[in-house]
Amino acid sequence: MCLPAILLAAGLRAQPQPASGNRVVLVITADASDYILAAGGAIAAMIEDGATAYLIRTTNDEKDSWELSPEETARHYSDESEQAAKILGIQEVISLGYRAGELAAVSHTELRDRLMFYVRLYKPAVLFLPNPYAEYVEVVDRFYTGKAAEEAQRVAALENFQPPFSTVGLTTHIVGELYYYAQPFDPRRREPEGTPTFVPQPKTVGISTTFEKKLRAAQALYTANYSMTMHIKKRLDNTGRRLPLLETVNSESVNQLVEINLRKLAEIAARDTSYELAEEFHYAGVEYQIPSSYLK
């Protein structure tokens, strides 16, 4: 993709600059819910500590709804993702607009360069991205987004990738900290990944103080939550089972189901730690970028 096309697609405009010394957090997600379920508490905590956060959502979520057309679904998600991000304290949501479930047909280089554009634009100190190496992740858009985001942050530091970016002030940038996130389904998710040098390592973050904010953000995604609830109810009905909570499906029962889901995920992540509620990541910081032997 040429420079003018990228600038038009990204909607380049004057961006509010964070206060001097303020950390910038860039969050990349494939869909509206993934980053909230897996990392919403940690992101909210950084924002409460003074960071400025931006969100990039690669797909339009048009497929995940109950009895809504793709167009209606995409509109609902657009509004609800803005509301959810606002609850967490995220300053701006950028939606790239790719059709959900179809990222496999999108050029990896195209997606990488669009994400690299924002890495150079916002110059984040911290990047949250979907973990493309996680097991048991059924939403393949998260894999493609994670791989493109991982490469985008790497090549954003290399001046020979998209040299025309420099003509509009988008100079190279090195991201200091990477948080790879995924919902904790993989039973081996806490196993160390080889040597700490150049390989992200398991990291647990307590979220007891920000859990309620994370919950309210998740509940703002009502279209996704209602779809999840109705699909669960349909499976139960088809197998002759029942769940008292879902005898009547309304906003109250949907929100209760979301709370149960989020709390259980946070409790699983907190097992064998000193935290009551937590989120799990694979983390790459200074030790990832520079071998400790070089720092002595």
In a domain, 252, yes or no: yes
**In whole angstroms, what is the distance from residue 159 CA to residue 150 CA?**
17
What does the pLDDT look like over 145-172, one tens digit per residue? 999 999 999 999 998 888 888 878 899 9
What's 53's domain CATH number? 3.40.50.10320
Give the tokens for residue 56: 């990039």
In a domain, 153, yes or no: yes
In a domain, 165, yes or no: yes
| 193 has pLDDT over 90 | no
Q: Tell me the CB-side half-sphere exposure of residue 247, using CA atoms within 13 A.
A: 2
Task: Please give the sequence-ordered ranges of beta strands (E in DSSP) within the chain, or none if there are none.
Answer: 24-29, 52-59, 92-98, 126-130, 177-181, 201-206, 278-284
In a domain, 54, yes or no: yes
Matching residue, tokens 């983390």: 283
- Residue 250 structural domain: 3-11+21-291
Residue-averaged pLDDT of the chain: 88
In a domain, 296, yes or no: no
Domain count, the chain: 1
**In whole angstroms, what is the distance from residue 155 CA to residue 172 CA?**
9
In a domain, 128, yes or no: yes
> Among 25-34, 162-171, 194-203, 273-282, whose mean pLDDT is lowest?
194-203
In a domain, 73, yes or no: yes
**In whole angstroms, what is the distance from residue 67 CA to residue 98 CA?**
21
pTM of the model: 0.88
Write down the pLDDT at residue 7: 40
Smallest CA-to-CA distance from 102 within 58, 137, 136 is with 58
Helix (H, G, I), strand (E, B) or coil at 197: coil
What does the pLDDT look like over 10-38, one tens digit per residue? 444 434 444 445 899 999 999 999 999 99
Write down the pLDDT at residue 137: 84
What does the pLDDT look like over 105-145, one tens digit per residue? 999 999 999 999 999 999 999 999 999 998 888 899 999 99
| Complete edge-to-edge strand list for the sheet that includes strand 201-206 | 92-98, 52-59, 24-29, 126-130, 177-181, 278-284, 201-206
- Phi/psi zone of residue 198: left (φ > 0), alpha (ψ -120 to 50 degrees), beta? left
In a domain, 16, yes or no: no
**In whole angstroms, what is the distance from residue 75 CA to residue 59 CA?**
12
What does the pLDDT average to over 238-260?
92
**In whole angstroms, what is the distance from residue 230 CA to residue 243 CA?**
12
